[in-house]
Structure 1
Amino acid sequence: MALASSPPALHFRRELSQVEQALLTALLDTIAPVSLSSTEDTVTWALTPSGKFSVKSLYRKLCQGPSFQMPNGLWSARLPLKIKVFFWQLFRNRLPTSANVAKRNGPSTGLCAICNVLEDATHVFFRCPLARFAWSAVRAAANTSWDPRSASDLATIADSIHGGNNRVLWSCIGALTWAVWLTRNKLAIEGIFPSHPANIIYKCNLLLQQWSPLAKRKDAEKLKHAQDRLRQIYVLAREPSATSAP
């Protein structure tokens, strides 16, 4: 029996207001096209032609809307998966920086342990003196003018480089940012200050050595050259007369 052909007779103990009457009319209009039958009810999934549930169709539905475009080459970079996820958090500002922890009422003041200013991802990786020193080492090692001041600047650099150079770039940037993050955590969480800023360069070079088996053979020479240059800069930075670049 179709509800549209036999609308239910509804009686109320009190007179409906205009708003209530409008809501009732809207409800009757909604159910009017529905037809009832004596057959057994079935469940169907509206997101697939077959009517059967699939995780893929649900994921596609959840992903609808504006999406964040990750920089060129990140997901195909020869890096450990945790470093790629780390970069995703960095570009989305989802890392547990002091500012983000404070927003969630966590045990944090929201400030950088070194600079005593708001510590977000931009400050940790691009503005803090430790990060500035690390980037100065990268500029010297790569003989470039790279001077990113935000994740957006870093993405622009990555998007401008392609092929094998892009893969090597991600390895170097991954080692650098992960070394900065580990140093920051030692300081912010454990209260351990690095004995020398150049320790970040040493840690960066050590990470590159650990990740070298992941690299393509044709990139090995470029990675080795990068490690040699970082090693030289580390030695120079450890000299008593050495001063870090701003």
Structure 2
Amino acid sequence: MNDFTGKNILVLGGSRGIGAAIVRRLASTDGLVAFTYAGSRQAAEDLASETGATAIRTDSADRSELITTVAGRGALDVLIVVAGALVLGDPLEIEADAVDHMIDVNVRAPYHAAVEAARRMNENGRIIVIGSVNGDRMPFAGGAAYALTKSAVQGMVRGLARDLGPRGITVNSIQPGPTDSDMNPADGPMAATMHSFMAIKRHVRPDEVAELTAYIAGPHGAMITGSLQTIDGGFGA
């Protein structure tokens, strides 16, 4: 088990699902964890009480607010970007504003947060963005805009890995497949279709994503950078 004692950690989007699992995992070994939330105030307060982490209300779509939050945490050891938006549907019918909001949350926010964190991040720091296997593969109709955002994350982490490598800072994306969460419940209407594409026919559990995140964020991840770490039960195989 990686020990995060005394590490200054910020999780963007940590009140529910994968984010909450990551907060629990890193706080369990005494990391100094703060996490953001947007609309889930009660869930955030409950998680903060449970784990001892600090909850900060932040709208990831608001660049100024996001940068202020990241800068306010000082010299981070670990930044993990989980906050994401999902818009699916016929591209001829989806509202343009909904697509633009998704791009703000899924692409612009990770980039600006990573850059702001890097300004004062400690040597050998970690930047991890939770992406999606849909950056590699979109096997059903209606996901073009979402896949666009997750493919953009792939290019971003590869580029930033080059930029920040001289300081020992690693930058990676973890790419879950279908994961049991409010956004994509294991018993939801799309579950059977998703499982049909998978070698292991169940949803990924948030705690499984959290364990992979902890490995990449810990000392054993020192030489893993610019990578796309897929955890999808063979969805994209």
When the two structures are superposed, what TM-score results if normalisation uses the length of structure 2? 0.28
Say which one has the larger Rg.
1
**RCO higher in structure (CA 8 A, sep ≥6):** 2
Q: Which structure's residues are more often strand, by fraction?
A: 2
Higher helix share: 1
